[in-house]
Amino acid sequence: MLNRILMGVVIALLIVAIVPPLATHVHQFEWELVTPATCLTDGFETGRCKCGAKREHVITSTGHWFDNWIVTTAATCQQDGEESRTCTKCGYTQTRTIVAKHNFENKSNCTVCGTEYFSQGIDFKTAVYGQYTIAVVTSIGQCTDIDVVIPAVWKNLPVVIIDEHAFDDANITSVTIPQTVQIIGDHAFQYSSITTVKFAPNSQLTKIGSYAFSACRQLVSIDIPQSVKTIGSAAFDYCISLQQITIPSGVSVINTHTFTYCEGLQTITIPAKVWMIADNAFSSCTGLKSVIFESGSQLKSIEQTAFHACWSLQQITLPKTLTHIGPMAFSVCEALTSVTFEDPTGWSATYYSETISLDLSNPTQNAAYLAGIDSYANYTWNKK
Ligand SMILES: [Zn+2]
Ligand SMILES: [Zn+2]
Ligand SMILES: [Zn+2]
């Protein structure tokens, strides 16, 4: 009996705890728009109930409702165009550029204007060059051509420079360089897989940077334009497949390591203007059989190890203007049997404090001095 009473009390208490009072007020808000939402900004409204309760409420912006893009100015081959679209809600008009584009089909000339094909997707930047604004090729970018054709013009600016490292390590087979390019930057094509480099006629190229084609191990041929005056250090070193190269007549120095390890080179002609062949310029050109100095050569100096380890070189005739040969210039030239000095007089060889006068009238003897064992190979040679 007592248990039943207790049970009844517990149940009554539970009912009181769970069921809310019967006369609870339910808010009835009347909303008032304070700030309407626009396409881009949120709006705001407030609600009031008769009881005095207040609520606030953000109305989320919807974003523009744009119509389709409409071309307002069509792009041509040279001139960018423009297109626009308008929001049907607020009337806002958005515009964007249609990039000028040639109509190249099958990588041949533009079907509209006839412009010669060039590769799409290459990256450029602008730069100030002297008093001009020019275009610089900065990288291969999105270009997927393996035979890269660099345009002469980018955004109405002449393409004058191929930047340092622009195509280094690029997986490309050939590159065609336009007439406008004057500088190929340092390391520009280093380690790339190019086999040939083509220059447009009347090339204005003046400089090939250091390491520009270094270790292009598949490079077979490059016809360096006659306009080139500077070929940087190591520009072609480790181009082991290079068969033939013509050094332009305006070049006056063959820089250090320029052709080191060009094992495929068999013959080289040194232009008359060259006065110095620098350290290691042709070292380890193991296939080099013939070094010809152009008539009228102004060569003064062959620096140390310049022709070191040219195993195939058998004979060479050195110009009469020559006054200096650095140590080891012809060392390890194992096949060298004849070195003719056009002017064999006045020469001496120095090693530390020791100086010995040399009679260089015997080409066979000279070869032994320069390349042989127990020779004067590691001496510095000077002519009075
Ligand atoms: Zn209320
Ligand atoms: Zn809008
Ligand atoms: Zn065109």
Measuring CA to CA, how many Å separate 98 from each of 17, 70, 267, 333?
Answer: 71, 11, 52, 62
| Closest ligand by atom to 67 CA | 2
Going from the Cα of 183 to the center of ligand 3, the distance in angstroms, rounded, reads 27
Going from the Cα of 113 to the center of ligand 3, the distance in angstroms, rounded, reads 4
Q: Which amino acid is located at 342 in the chain?
A: E
Total-model pTM: 0.78
Q: What is the pLDDT of residues 229-279, one digit of tens each?
A: 999 999 999 999 999 999 999 999 999 999 999 999 999 999 999 999 999
Strand bridging mode 43-48 / 54-59: antiparallel
Ion ligand 2: protein residues whose beta carbon lies under 5 Å:
39, 64, 87, 89-90, 92
Going from the Cα of 167 to the center of ligand 3, the distance in angstroms, rounded, reads 26
Radius of gyration for the chain, computed over Cα atoms and rounded to the nearest angstrom? 40
Q: What is the pLDDT of residues 341-359, one digit of tens each?
A: 999 999 999 999 999 999 9
H or E element, residue 128: strand 123-129
Going from the Cα of 29 to the center of ligand 1, the distance in angstroms, rounded, reads 7
Residue given tokens 């990588």 in the structure block: 107
Going from the Cα of 273 to the center of ligand 2, the distance in angstroms, rounded, reads 71
Across 140-238, the runs of DSSP E, i.e. the strands, are: 147-149, 153-154, 157-162, 174-177, 183-184, 196-199, 207-208, 221-222, 230-231
Task: State the pLDDT at residue 126.
Answer: 98
Segments making up each domain of the chain, as ranges: 55-101
Structure tokens at 153: 């013009």
Going from the Cα of 20 to the center of ligand 1, the distance in angstroms, rounded, reads 17
CB neighbour class for 381 (10 Å; exposed up to 12, middle 13-18, buried from 19): buried
Q: How far is CA 316 from the centre of its chain?
A: 38
Task: State the pLDDT at residue 329.
Answer: 97
| Closest ligand by atom to 27 CA | 1
| Closest ligand by atom to 65 CA | 2
Dist. CA 134–CA 131, nearest whole Å: 10
DSSP string, 225-274: -TT--EE-TTTTTT-TT--B----TT--EE-TTTTTT-TT--EEEE-TT-
Q: What is the pLDDT of residues 107-133, one digit of tens each?
A: 899 999 998 899 999 999 999 999 999
Judge whether 279 and 305 are in contact, CB under 8 Å: yes
